[in-house]
Structure 1
Amino acid sequence: MGISKKTIRLYASAKAVITQYLYLPGSHRLNNVIKRIDKLGNSEVESGIEKVMRAFAGRHRNIEQTFLNHFSRIADQNKSSLEYFSLQKKILLGAFFTKEYSIEAAALFNPSIVPHPDQQGLKADEQRFIMSLRATGEGHISSIVFQTGIIDNMANITLDNSTGYFTPLKKRLDTSYNKLFISKRAATIPEFNRSILDNLPESFSAAEASHILNSIKPTEPSIIDSVMVFEKIMDNNYELESSSHVPLNEKVIFPISNAESMGMEDARFVKFHDGEQYCYYGTYTAYNGKHIQTHLIETTNFDVFKIRALYGAAVADKGMALFPEKVNGKYAMISRQGGEKINIMFSENLYFWKDFQILMEPRYPWEFLQVGNCGSPIKTTKGWLLLTHGVGAMRTYVISAILLDLHDPTRIVGRLDKPLIEADENEREGYVPNVVYTCGFMLHGNHLIIPYAVSDSATAFATIGLDEILRDMKL
């Protein structure tokens, strides 16, 4: 097949840094630093700030405000008031409790791609896109970053320039929840004692609910366990502050909840249509160092994001990819429970999945170890086109494709009998060698646009005509 690999490469950069609060073990460490800063004279404070600003102000937006925000966290932790600190001392103290974190120090890979919500100002037959990527940094913690660009009528790809800044999006603290939201999710946990909800008003913020529930004197063990379940639900389902003032290529969705503390892995974004309305959904694997769980990102504009956990007996393993529209009135999802086969499942509720069924098993030697999806399927006149990955000898990953019936996607109506994309000699070496992998692809005219990871060390692009790939499908 006439797969065309582009020369564009996106590489991880150790210069992609964000600021984080620096935790020190033991309250005595914090108090000792406060005392040392307190003893400094004005000239020493000014000199210290000047040195820090000279070294770091050009690497981060509004870093002085970051220092003041971190000072506020210190003041909240410290028992004695620090209001007597001058503004300059507050800034300097905040700087001592700030660190840089390189989000791409280890890798930048596993992309997905969707049409940009803003298609204004383009030439004829051009399309603007948003690509998400998995950035992996110190401690092998994965976050989500974005890259925008334009595809022309010949499937040539141009990437937008980066500003050089990276801004982690903040959790919105005033998000309002209600009892129904909690009870629906707690219904999947048999041991949950619903009586704890009686103590809450009809709507509440996470902080308000925590204050009320922590004041309850438990009369039985189930109350303690149920409060923990409640707090986990609140932790897993949150919103991010509006980021309309931040360029999309600067935005970083960094782990916030405990469930994803060690990584937000392999986001698979899709533009989901429901009649004339649309929303972008991105399924990803939340990892806390021991356990995984599938979570969902929701946005209409990539400025306001909601994070939701998925629930139900079928929510297991990695790599879930949502269809771009309902099928026969239900949400449809490609999944991989068990880690070896491709499965499919349906649900009337986006957040709850009970059952799944096997869709495809390994058939060819290049996929004998396992198969999985490479992102959400796209709708064609011939059926749902789904890119797949297969793992063969020597843990070699390849990308292939299948075609599903439009009206009954549990039926495979076409399947490639050979890989679509394999690692060539220039792509074999990397953090994880002999791997090509993608978390999403999109259609541009008759061109299939496939961004893909190269041995977990870079991101490349490949294109192929839609007609050609459909023509090579075997029954």
Structure 2
Amino acid sequence: MTCLALRRHHIMLQPESARVIIRPFIPSNPQRLATIIGRALALTEEEVETELAAVHADFDSRHLDIEPVLMSHFAKVQSEIFTQRPLTRSRQLLIGAIFSGEYSLEAAALFNPSIVSHPDQSGVPEGGLRFIMSLRATGEGHISSIEFREGSISPDGHITLVPVSRYVSLPEVLPNPTYRKKRFIVKLHEMGFDNECTASVMDILADDFSRSELAARVASVRRESLPLSHESRRTLECVQWLADSNYELCFSSKLAVSERILFPVSQNESNGIEDARFVRFVDDDGTVTYCATYTAYNGRAILPQFIETKDFLHFRVLTLNGTAVQNKGMALFPRRIRGRYVMLSRQDDENLFVMFSDNSHHWADPHLILRPAETWESVKLGNCGSPIETDAGWLVITHGVGPMRKYCIGAVLLDLDDPTRVIGRLRHPLLCPEGVEREGYVPNVVYSCGSLVHGGQLILPYAMSDKATAIVSLPIADLLAALLEDNSPPEVATA
């Protein structure tokens, strides 16, 4: 009988309501919009300066640079301004402020972490590691976004986090991203838009085309097809939706890691970006890309999405294709196996599957590898992030849901050459919610979206009841031994 000693690190990431961004606050009713603009236009220049000074006094200290955001929000309503007279910059800024509001990103929760090594390891002492942790932040309206933290592991296993900045910044959404024609057509066909209108739009475009080139082609087809049939109108709307769902973001290199925030951009994620599972993917030629799957939610349906970045400054967000792209909990393996990409998934919201592909953006033919076996996972099970390669096999940290909707964390081991084969499994949980960990937005839950191995230790960040985040570690050799032994199930002790 093996006793697994968990080391609880003195780190607790609690939600901080003072970390805010500025979002548009624009009424949808045109009459109300016009009335508000009218009040702003009726102010004298002296009144404008006084009111704008009050805005700066109240909000400058809460944001890195407020004026560009206010001007961008002014631009959103500029077409509704019913005067031909030029407006001073101060009046434009004040109108922008009138149609703006603060949003507290993590007022409700900061949870569901994943952890990867930092792309920059310069200056790290031998035996240490710098890392980046992603977190799901949830605020007003339960809208989720992705935040980041930077930290380090010392040679003796001590974990520290870089102090969190008071500020957060949204990235620039690149206005003219590029798309790959083959992927775009495949996704349109999957969505049921394999028709003449689709062909008319796509046939003339190059193998790699820009957003502006697509927009021009859609406009041309729209003009040529008048009057539009219902099918053509829906097809062109879907083309637009698909383009909006694939976008590129860029942060300034001057921003600290904790100041970068990935907030919903496209309509399909308007109600949240949930549970990003980041992994450091090394391709066969040695190229390193940080990839993540996440769940986009629009208030009605979920859609698995994919993130790619090399530096955590420039991000590409893409839709995933294929019949197996459904449900939550997709997690990419950190390298190819026998030349193919490999992904964990949960097709039926109950069991664990693995699937293989020649294309990291297209997934089909899932293979069932694991069903619930113990009472603590009797409702359903899933992964807690991407598999970790060890000499003994692929280590998969799992979560199981049992009686009273209690979430616990477990582990399984898959064969290195054939990850459809399970070669080890913990019968008892590795980690269960205890004490204050049981209290939160969703009680009785421990959950993770990704861990790593360093210095012979499994570093496991985990969320507590959809509220806050903590970190434990344990010797990887002990965990592998427990997974592979044939006798009694392991006990878990805490230290």
Tell whether the structures are fold-level matches, with TM greater than 0.5: yes
Letter of the 2:260 partner, please give it: K
> 1:100 & 1:200 partners in 2: Cα distance?
44
Confirm whether residue 59 of structure 1 aligns to residue 62 of structure 2. Answer: yes
Confirm whether residue 399 of structure 1 aligns to residue 405 of structure 2. Answer: no
Letter of the 1:410 partner, please give it: T
> 1:243 & 1:297 partners in 2: Cα distance?
18
1:30 to 22, 30, 33: 33
1:289 to 284, 299, 302: 299
Kept in 1, the 8 Å contact 2:357–2:363? The answer is yes
Letter of the 2:102 partner, please give it: E
Which residue number corresponds to residue 49 of structure 2? 46
Kept in 2, the 8 Å contact 1:110–1:438? The answer is yes
Letter of the 1:232 partner, please give it: W
Distance 1:99-1:211 versus aligned 2 partners, 3 A rule: farther
Letter of the 2:347 partner, please give it: Q
Distance 1:15-1:359 versus aligned 2 partners, 3 A rule: same
* Matched pairs, number: 474
Distance 1:436-1:378 versus aligned 2 partners, 3 A rule: same
Confirm whether residue 319 of structure 1 aligns to residue 326 of structure 2. Answer: no
TM-score, normalised with respect to structure 1: 0.96
Which residue number corresponds to residue 336 of structure 1? 346
Confirm whether residue 125 of structure 1 aligns to residue 127 of structure 2. Answer: yes
> 1:264 & 1:212 partners in 2: Cα distance?
34
Which residue number corresponds to residue 279 of structure 2? 270
- SS in structure 2 of the partner of residue 351 of structure 1: coil
Which residue number corresponds to residue 208 of structure 1? 216
1:95 to 77, 94, 97: 97
- Deviation for aligned residue 1:201: 4.3
Letter of the 1:116 partner, please give it: H
- Deviation for aligned residue 1:222: 2.9
> 1:218 & 1:382 partners in 2: Cα distance?
64
The within-5 A match list for 1:272-421 is 272-274=281-283, 275-421=285-431
Which residue number corresponds to residue 157 of structure 1? 159
Kept in 2, the 8 Å contact 1:104–1:135? The answer is yes
Please provide the CA RMSD for this pair. Answer: 1.7
> 1:52 & 1:242 partners in 2: Cα distance?
26
Which residue number corresponds to residue 444 of structure 1? 454
- Deviation for aligned residue 1:169: 1.9
Distance 1:176-1:64 versus aligned 2 partners, 3 A rule: same
Which residue number corresponds to residue 11 of structure 2? 8
Q: Deviations over 1:278-336 (max 9, x none)?
A: 10101000111111110001100001000011111111110000000011111100111
- SS in structure 2 of the partner of residue 143 of structure 1: strand
Q: Deviations over 1:4-27 (max 9, x none)?
A: 111210001111110011121222
Kept in 2, the 8 Å contact 1:323–1:331? The answer is yes
- Deviation for aligned residue 1:134: 0.4
Return 260-269 or 169-178, whichever deviates more: 169-178
- SS in structure 2 of the partner of residue 7 of structure 1: strand
Kept in 2, the 8 Å contact 1:192–1:225? The answer is no
Kept in 1, the 8 Å contact 2:34–2:81? The answer is no
> 1:178 & 1:375 partners in 2: Cα distance?
28
Q: Please, which runs of 5 or more residues in structure 1 have no aligned partner?
A: none
Kept in 1, the 8 Å contact 2:386–2:450? The answer is yes
Which residue number corresponds to residue 70 of structure 1? 73
The within-5 A match list for 1:136-147 is 136-147=138-149
Kept in 1, the 8 Å contact 2:211–2:243? The answer is no
Distance 1:218-1:239 versus aligned 2 partners, 3 A rule: farther
- Deviation for aligned residue 1:198: 5.4
Which residue number corresponds to residue 465 of structure 1? 475
Letter of the 1:377 partner, please give it: P
- The percentage of aligned residue pairs carrying the same residue is 41
Distance 1:176-1:249 versus aligned 2 partners, 3 A rule: same
Which residue number corresponds to residue 116 of structure 2? 114
- Deviation for aligned residue 1:157: 0.8
1:186 to 185, 188, 198: 188
> 1:312 & 1:113 partners in 2: Cα distance?
27
- Deviation for aligned residue 1:179: 3.8
1:166 to 165, 168, 184: 168
Q: More relative contact order in 1 or in 2 (CA 8 Å, sep 6+)?
A: 2
Letter of the 2:115 partner, please give it: I
2:199 to 183, 195, 199: 195
Which residue number corresponds to residue 491 of structure 2? none
> 1:74 & 1:378 partners in 2: Cα distance?
49
- Deviation for aligned residue 1:178: 5.3
- Deviation for aligned residue 1:81: 5.5
- SS in structure 1 of the partner of residue 437 of structure 2: coil
Distance 1:199-1:316 versus aligned 2 partners, 3 A rule: closer
Distance 1:177-1:472 versus aligned 2 partners, 3 A rule: closer
> 1:122 & 1:446 partners in 2: Cα distance?
18
- Deviation for aligned residue 1:35: 2.0
> 1:198 & 1:287 partners in 2: Cα distance?
28
Kept in 1, the 8 Å contact 2:201–2:218? The answer is no
Q: Please, which runs of 5 or more residues in structure 2 have no aligned partner?
A: 487-495
- SS in structure 2 of the partner of residue 234 of structure 1: helix
> 2:178 & 2:119 partners in 1: Cα distance?
27
> 1:462 & 1:12 partners in 2: Cα distance?
19
- Deviation for aligned residue 1:392: 1.1
> 1:178 & 1:277 partners in 2: Cα distance?
20
- Deviation for aligned residue 1:151: 0.7
> 1:425 & 1:219 partners in 2: Cα distance?
62
Distance 1:83-1:345 versus aligned 2 partners, 3 A rule: farther
Kept in 2, the 8 Å contact 1:179–1:197? The answer is no
> 2:441 & 2:84 partners in 1: Cα distance?
47
> 2:179 & 2:380 partners in 1: Cα distance?
40
- Deviation for aligned residue 1:244: 2.4
> 1:214 & 1:19 partners in 2: Cα distance?
36
Distance 1:148-1:341 versus aligned 2 partners, 3 A rule: same
- Deviation for aligned residue 1:175: 1.3
Which residue number corresponds to residue 245 of structure 2? 236
- SS in structure 2 of the partner of residue 43 of structure 1: helix
